[in-house]
Structure 1
Amino acid sequence: MTTATTTTTRRRRPPVPVLLLIPSVVFMTALFLWPLVVGIGQAFLGEDGPTLEFVRRMVDDPHFWPSVGNTLLLLVVLIPLQFAFALAMALLLRAKPRFSQVYFYLWVVPLAVSDLCAGLVWLAVFTDQGYLNSLLDLLGLPTYPWLSFASYPTMFLAVLVAELWRATSLVLVIVVAGMQSIPRDYEEAAEVFGATFWQRLRHVLLPQLRPSLQVALILRTILALQTFAVAQALTGRDFPLLVGETYQWYNLLQNPNVSAVLALVVLALSMGTAVVYLRVLRDRTSTEARP
């Protein structure tokens, strides 16, 4: 009887992996699932029950569609530039020039700078009496109101440059870590067989960097959709972004319901782009793996 009871107890005991996952499940439920449920409730529940009133107020707001357009435009322009710069810097570091470690530490300095501080730094550059106009004046060139509401292209350029400086270092660190795991034997073998630099980059390095690039792409896209402090410091509401509008509705307009709808829009865009990236990269990988 004792042996049978012990055997039954062992069979009923939850497996070790399940026990190890319980803290993570509780943690994710407390920090993600429950706030998500509350946010959905705020977005679609009014005093009289389910309603789309807050969605209509969001859509009818004159800043909503410009914020969507600005966010997507920033995403489309910023991400390719960041990856191009990060890949170029990583390739330079891989060649191990003189003072390469100094270059690396200088390039990752922006990681230690907060979003708001980065915005204030670039505000000192682009403001009417800032460093850029002072330099232009010193050189005898005409100055320009870079952050003027009447000049949309220069406002976008200022936000783009500030975000490019602030966040490219994150992509660089991920790409450098991925390159360190790639043996140089593949490149040397390709070089022996006459492959040019661009051929080695396309057919040797980039395929092996795909996992790192995938992680960096998803992270940067999600963070680009959440761009707020830099644009807020530089342009305020003259260059509206989705997360900035979420802040405006919640803090200044004191309407958490519309703010919750905007937050769900950002969440949907983030999850949608992540799924697309995973799908596209997975399909390419599986196609190349076929004999």
Structure 2
Amino acid sequence: MRPKVLPYLLLLPATLFLCVFFLHPFLLVAWEAFSRDGVATLDNFRTMAGNWKFPQALRNTLLLAAIVVPLQLALALSMASIVTRMEKGRSAVLYIFAIPLGISDLAAGLIWLAIFEQSGFLNTLLTGLGLVAKPVMFLGYQSKVMIFVAVVLAEVWRATAIMMVILVAGMGLIPKEYGEAAEVFGAGPWKRFVKITLPLLRPSLQTAIILRVILAFEVFAVVAALGGSNLPVLMGETYNWQFTLQDRNVAAAVAMVILAISIGFTLFFLYALRVPKEARI
């Protein structure tokens, strides 16, 4: 009897932790989103959808995720492949690649703000080379495209290492014999990568993409540092409704929209990158 009960006892602390610090707050936020003055209603979602900034925030958030995640995936795969193939200095290179992981979102935004602002590094460089006569306002309120580009660069620089670490761990679990056998039969590096590495890397790809997509929908501090209110995003609207407009019900409604989108994309990637039963070990 004890061996059957032991796994549940070991899971009990984690289950209690999730119930207290995740499930209970989630239920509170859900009730705030679907109620007003203690009465169940959808008015909060109507107010949210009727706000002129909501469509822009939704579009910007989805567009950021659609651009940032594929770029990060391509870079993370390249970086992970480089690290995996190295025989010497692997730990040092992995550490260098992972340095941005130790920098907070806001700090990363401020670093890139120091690059793009009028008195920043980029303007100093361009002026010193004589390419521009005077400093350019890259992040002005009329330069929304440039703000978007700056946010993309900052996010790619800051969070690619998250995916890379997961993929390095996944590549380390792939038996080398598969690649060696394919090489004996004449498969080149690219063919080995496509036909062997990527299929066997599906569980790690699934985890990395889902995690990064969820974090992409929660982008806030980097946008606040580089664009302020000039580039509305969903998480920024949650903050505005909660603290600026003092309407926690609508803020909870926006949070529920972010959660719904995250769950939708999570289910999609769980299905798209599922491992076939015949391929499971």
Of 59, 65, 78, which aligns to 2:55? 65
Tell me the alpha carbon deviations over residues 221-240 of structure 1, each in whole angstroms, 9 at most, x when there is no partner. Answer: 11111111111111111111
Larger Rg: 1
TM-score (norm 1): 0.90
Sort the Cα spacing of 1:135 and 1:97 in 2 relative to 1 into closer, same or farther, 3 A: farther
Of 20, 23, 45, which aligns to 1:33? 23
Match of 2:82 in 1: 92
Sort the Cα spacing of 1:18 and 1:93 in 2 relative to 1 into closer, same or farther, 3 A: closer
Matched, 1:52 2:39: no
Structure 1 unpaired stretches of 5+: 1-9
Match of 1:185 in 2: 177
Cα distance in 2 for partners of 1:230, 1:277 equals 26
TM-score (norm 2): 0.93
Tell me the alpha carbon deviations over residues 158-214 of structure 1, each in whole angstroms, 9 at most, x when there is no partner. Answer: 000000000001111111111111222211111111111111000111111111111
Which SS does the other structure have where 2:151 is aligned?
Answer: helix
| Most deviating of 72-81 and 33-42 | 33-42
Of 157, 161, 167, which aligns to 1:169? 161
Matched residue pairs, number?
A: 278
Structure 2 unpaired stretches of 5+: none
Tell me the alpha carbon deviations over residues 119-170 of structure 1, each in whole angstroms, 9 at most, x when there is no partner. Answer: 1111100112211111111111135322122122111100000000000011
Which SS does the other structure have where 1:217 is aligned?
Answer: helix
Match of 1:82 in 2: 72
Match of 1:248 in 2: 240
Match of 2:223 in 1: 231
State the identity as a percent: 45
Sort the Cα spacing of 1:197 and 1:50 in 2 relative to 1 into closer, same or farther, 3 A: same
CA RMSD of aligned residues (A): 2.1
Alignment map for 1:120-135 (pairs within 5 Å): 120-135=110-125
Cα distance in 1 for partners of 2:239, 2:21 equals 20
Cα distance in 1 for partners of 2:107, 2:128 equals 27
One-letter amino acid of the counterpart of residue 185, structure 2: F
Cα distance in 2 for partners of 1:71, 1:190 equals 42
Tell me the alpha carbon deviations over residues 87-144 of structure 1, each in whole angstroms, 9 at most, x when there is no partner. Answer: 1111112221764433221110001111111111111001122111111111111353
